[in-house]
Chains A and B, each alone.
Chain A
Amino acid sequence: MKQKSGEKDYFERFTRWKMIIIFLVLALMLTITFAVTIGPKPIPPLDAWRIIVKNIPFIGNLVGDGSSGVEYSINQLIILQIRLPRIIAATIVGAALAVAGVVLQGLLRNPMADPYVIGISAGAALGASIVIGLGIGFSFLGIDAIQLMAFIGGLITVFVVYNIARTGPRVPMLTVLLAGIAITSFLSAIISFIMITLGESLHALLFWLFGSFTLSSWDNMTVTMPVIIIGLIVIIIFARQLNIMLLGEDQAQQLGVDIEKLKKIMLIVASLITAAAVSISGIIGFIGLIIPHIARILVGPDHRILVPSSALAGAIILVLCDTAARTIMEPVELPVGVLTAFFGVPFFLYLLRKKKSLVISG
């Protein structure tokens, strides 16, 4: 039995948490650098960063012009218009899915939960398939029809699931889970039906369903990026209360947590960021299920560190997967969802074996 001074240890942990965050931020920077430079036309890392920093408002002026000329312009175009939007999209989508996974696993106290379990993916997919099936094409505030309908479809589904599960002022989370699974099956049937009737556009829908960043641009992130960033901040604010929720609803309430309010806020925020993520990239699996577990194994169950480190880890993994998706079979591009599963699952299983038990909650 070790007998340490828990007092000192306790505050040391905050320092340790800061170190973890700094480490992960650096790792993310490195990953982005790597991702920016790799591609059909390799770009030296220093040039890449010069171009990126130069284009950040205010700070940009502090950087020397460096090389200019045709080469520089081409690189600038590739980075700013092709690679960077896609990398930033992967970053925020990865962070959003991982954090939504953490929140739902915590709220449902179920290690099998992921951001899609309450029906968002099926609703979003239905929205997308309707647009693709009917061949609608419009654009609003830089958001195209598929994106908009996916976002709306996801949110409507969660709204329906939530209201099916609600009894009076209370929302039993087990009912949310079951209703989510049922609605998902139902919507999947409709999507399958639409897929059969689709002719040539089937490929477009399939690619969307597997998840892809091919179509990412700055424009389609103007609304979704702020939604995700604000969502992540809200979740971090409630992190301590999420810890207490793990004790079960009765005990959480008796420790002063307004459980119904917390559940409502967390469900809304998790749904918003998931719907936003899905609207950018389509349905990317495994990130929202596996990253929370990996992070939990590495940093522990406390949401105050679990949420930010999941966000950063999700971002890193998804950027790496997307880079692999667009480069390993060049010029053919793979759906990123295929790679997240292909690399994510073995790594997860390795950690699982090493740790033996996968404990999340009561």
Chain B
Amino acid sequence: MVKLNINGVDCFYGSIKVLEKIVFSVEGGEFVGVLGPNGSGKTTLLKTIGRILKPQVGTILLDDIDVYVMKAIEMAKKVAVVPQDTSVTFDFTALDLVLMGRNPHIGLFETETKEDLAIAKKAMELTNIWHLADRKVSELSGGERQRVIIARALAQEPKVLLLDEPTSHLDINYQIEIMDLLRELCKKKKLIILAVFHDFNLAARYCDSAILLNEGRIISIGPIDTILTDENIEKAFRISAIVKRHPITNSLYVVPLCTSELKSVQPRGLKVHIICGGGTGASLMRILLEHGYKISAGVLNVLDTDYDVACTLGIPVISEAPFSSITEEAHKANLNKIDNANVVILTDAPFGRGNLRNLGAAIMALEKGVTTIAVEEKPIQERDFTNGYAQASYMELRERGAIFVESYDQILPILEELEDKLGFMSKVQAGEKNEKPQNNL
């Protein structure tokens, strides 16, 4: 089985160190993802292994032979590379280009044989581009070209495949198709695949293990499940993210929340209490947090999406046991939170008997003189599961002067106005006032 050992590699561009003390080894049949932010050395690592950029320190051994001692042709029989930038502007056809992958197997005085052609054809059929065989490469789309280059790498019949963002130009269906193909080849033919990914979720789904780089060093290495953690992602990319296991694919998926820088945005004085549930408050909580508001939430049932989000974001939350009605105790705690808040936001959550008390809390807030904003992207009629009680409560809210808005986008301006009116020092820079594009979670 093929073996790749990277022994203490340091690499420089001029005097700038781009890789430092890189040590790892991979065996045939392993699919390894190379992750890390821009400029962390991912591409450089592939170039170093691919015999393009000789390391100043350390060695790269392929089956115990230093790749920089090997001849180009010997190397090309074992290692194929799919580069990031695959733009070509000359008039060769797709088949010509794929056949170039056979070069290491063809002698100087020979030409392609029927067998070479059969191998090229197979590679093109696997990557679904055989119908493009006679087309000029310069006339293909980015994604088609990328598949041609992948076919060329397969035609080399390598033991090691180095891929630099192999699916960056591909449509989602081809991404999955190519990755499935690569994974299958990896397992069946015991290839080593080393691939740079920008997409964590793709990496999580297909890689066995991963190398996380930052500033030219390995900050974490091991099975993919141990690499993709919120701490690692925060360390390398300086963003907070949620890592979860997807119930269908059973692989991890990563949801980036906000950059750590934003977390330390100038705090605002306004305290906001959010009454939500069923996922209606999740993105609102994130956005308000990003804008520096102090938030609390409640009452939420444990296991509710909004409850999970609030916990992940570190928002104080009044909770109730799963699938149970709000108890007197929780309700009182909620009212306490409302007392402390300047604003209450009522999201368009569905209401049933169990959480009807939350509407009562909103009415109490108005009674106590706390500004209350009710969001109605979805009218209450469609989310009233209480035979009209909830609708009646909404009538009362309206009468008592709650601010009704039709979309979540309208909330931030209202809060800013309130902030000014209540005389809080608004130290937020002008730039921060521009609304962030709101990604609904």
In the complex the two chains form, is A9's CB within 8 Å of B134's CB? yes
A354 touches B (CB below 8 Å): no
Residue of B93, B95, B104, B132 touching A255 (CB-CB under 8 A): B104
Which chain A residues numbered 281 to 304 have a C-beta less than 8 Å away from chain B?
Answer: 296, 300-302, 304
Cα-based distance from A1 to B87 in the complex (angstroms): 21
In the complex the two chains form, is A253's CB within 8 Å of B72's CB? yes
B13 touches A (CB below 8 Å): no
In the complex the two chains form, is A6's CB within 8 Å of B134's CB? yes
Chain A residues with CB below 8 A from B79, complex form? 254
Q: Are A362 and B89 CB-contacts (below 8 A) given A255-B101, A258-B71?
A: yes
Cα-based distance from A6 to B117 in the complex (angstroms): 9
Which chain B residues numbered 72 to 116 have a C-beta less than 8 Å away from chain A?
Answer: 72-73, 75-77, 79-81, 83, 87-93, 95-96, 99-101, 103-104, 106, 108-109, 111-112, 114
Q: Are A6 and B133 CB-contacts (below 8 A) given A244-B103, A256-B104, A302-B92?
A: yes
Residue of B81, B96, B108, B138 touching A254 (CB-CB under 8 A): B81
Cα-based distance from A1 to B94 in the complex (angstroms): 14
Q: Are A362 and B103 CB-contacts (below 8 A) given A259-B72, A301-B92?
A: no
Question: Nearest chain B CB to A67's CB is how many angstroms away?
Answer: 47
In the complex the two chains form, is B72's CB within 8 Å of A258's CB? yes
Residue of A7, A257, A359 touching B103 (CB-CB under 8 A): A257
Chain A residues with CB below 8 A from B108, complex form? 237-238, 241
Residue of B72, B75, B100, B117 touching A247 (CB-CB under 8 A): B100
Chain A residues with CB below 8 A from B214, complex form? none
Chain A residues with CB below 8 A from B50, complex form? 254
Chain B residues with CB below 8 A from A302, complex form? 92, 96
A10 touches B (CB below 8 Å): yes
Cα-based distance from A258 to B72 in the complex (angstroms): 6
Q: Which residue of B lies closest to A238 (CB)?
A: B108
Residue of B77, B83, B109, B111 touching A256 (CB-CB under 8 A): B77
Which chain B residues numbered 347 to 395 have a C-beta less than 8 Å away from chain A?
Answer: none
Chain B residues with CB below 8 A from A1, complex form? 131-132, 135
A3 touches B (CB below 8 Å): yes
Cα-based distance from A331 to B103 in the complex (angstroms): 55
Residue of A243, A259, A361 touching B100 (CB-CB under 8 A): A243
Q: Are A250 and B72 CB-contacts (below 8 A) given A237-B109, A243-B100?
A: no
Q: Are A300 and B91 CB-contacts (below 8 A) given A253-B52, A256-B76?
A: yes
In the complex the two chains form, is A7's CB within 8 Å of B121's CB? yes
In the complex the two chains form, is A254's CB within 8 Å of B51's CB? yes
Q: Are A6 and B92 CB-contacts (below 8 A) given A240-B106, A258-B72?
A: no
Q: Which residue of B lies closest to A259 (CB)?
A: B72
Cα-based distance from A7 to B104 in the complex (angstroms): 21
In the complex the two chains form, is A6's CB within 8 Å of B121's CB? yes
Question: Nearest chain A CB to B12's CB is how many angstroms away?
Answer: 14
Which chain A residues numbered 191 to 250 have a C-beta less than 8 Å away from chain B?
Answer: 237-238, 240-241, 243-244, 246-247, 250
In the complex the two chains form, is A257's CB within 8 Å of B72's CB? yes
In the complex the two chains form, is B92's CB within 8 Å of A243's CB? yes
Question: Nearest chain B CB to A128's CB is how many angstroms away?
Answer: 37
A356 touches B (CB below 8 Å): no
In the complex the two chains form, is B117's CB within 8 Å of A7's CB? yes
Chain B residues with CB below 8 A from A360, complex form? 90
Question: Nearest chain A CB to B41's CB is how many angstroms away?
Answer: 17
Residue of A7, A14, A256 touching B72 (CB-CB under 8 A): A256
Question: Nearest chain A CB to B139's CB is how many angstroms away?
Answer: 11
Q: Fill in one digit per residue for A1-21: 1 if any B CB lies within 8 Å of its CB, else 0.
A: 111101101110010000000
Which chain B residues numbered 57 to 76 have a C-beta less than 8 Å away from chain A?
Answer: 71-73, 75-76
In the complex the two chains form, is B103's CB within 8 Å of A240's CB? yes
Which chain A residues numbered 1 to 52 have a C-beta less than 8 Å away from chain B?
Answer: 1-4, 6-7, 9-11, 14
Residue of A10, A255, A301 touching B91 (CB-CB under 8 A): A301
Q: Fill in one digit per residue for B311-330: 1 if any A CB lies within 8 Å of its CB, else 0.
A: 00000000000000000000
Which chain B residues numbered 114 to 129 have a C-beta less than 8 Å away from chain A?
Answer: 114, 117, 121
In the complex the two chains form, is A10's CB within 8 Å of B117's CB? yes
Chain B residues with CB below 8 A from A6, complex form? 93, 95, 121, 130, 133-134
A185 touches B (CB below 8 Å): no
A251 touches B (CB below 8 Å): yes
Chain A residues with CB below 8 A from B131, complex form? 1, 3
Chain B residues with CB below 8 A from A240, complex form? 103, 106, 111
B156 touches A (CB below 8 Å): yes
Which chain A residues numbered 280 to 331 have a C-beta less than 8 Å away from chain B?
Answer: 296, 300-302, 304
Q: Which residue of B lies closest to A255 (CB)?
A: B103
Cα-based distance from A359 to B136 in the complex (angstroms): 12
In the complex the two chains form, is B51's CB within 8 Å of A253's CB? yes
Residue of B90, B109, B117 touching A359 (CB-CB under 8 A): B90
Chain B residues with CB below 8 A from A243, complex form? 92, 96, 100
Q: Which residue of B lies closest to A258 (CB)?
A: B72
Question: Nearest chain A CB to B395's CB is how many angstroms away?
Answer: 63
Question: Nearest chain A CB to B23's CB is how many angstroms away?
Answer: 24
Chain A residues with CB below 8 A from B100, complex form? 243-244, 247, 255
Which chain A residues numbered 80 to 95 have a C-beta less than 8 Å away from chain B?
Answer: none
Chain B residues with CB below 8 A from A254, complex form? 50-52, 75-76, 79-81
Chain B residues with CB below 8 A from A257, complex form? 72-73, 103
Q: Are A4 and B73 CB-contacts (below 8 A) given A10-B95, A361-B90?
A: no
In the complex the two chains form, is B103's CB within 8 Å of A241's CB? yes
Question: Nearest chain A CB to B258's CB is how many angstroms away?
Answer: 38
- B79, B89, B91, B101 — most chain A CB neighbours (10 Å): B91
In the complex the two chains form, is A362's CB within 8 Å of B95's CB? no
Q: Which residue of A lies closest to B106 (CB)?
A: A240
Q: Are A250 and B92 CB-contacts (below 8 A) given A255-B101, A256-B75?
A: no
Question: Nearest chain A CB to B141's CB is how many angstroms away?
Answer: 12
14 contacting pairs across A/B (C-beta < 8 A): A4-B134, A7-B121, A9-B134, A240-B111, A246-B92, A251-B83, A254-B75, A254-B79, A254-B80, A257-B72, A258-B73, A296-B91, A302-B96, A361-B90
Add 12 more A-B contacts to A246-B92, A251-B83, A361-B89 (CB < 8 A).
A1-B132, A6-B95, A6-B133, A7-B121, A14-B111, A241-B103, A243-B100, A247-B100, A302-B92, A302-B96, A360-B90, A362-B89
Residues of B within 8 A of A (CB): 47, 50-52, 71-73, 75-77, 79-81, 83, 87-93, 95-96, 99-101, 103-104, 106, 108-109, 111-112, 114, 117, 121, 130-135, 138, 152, 156
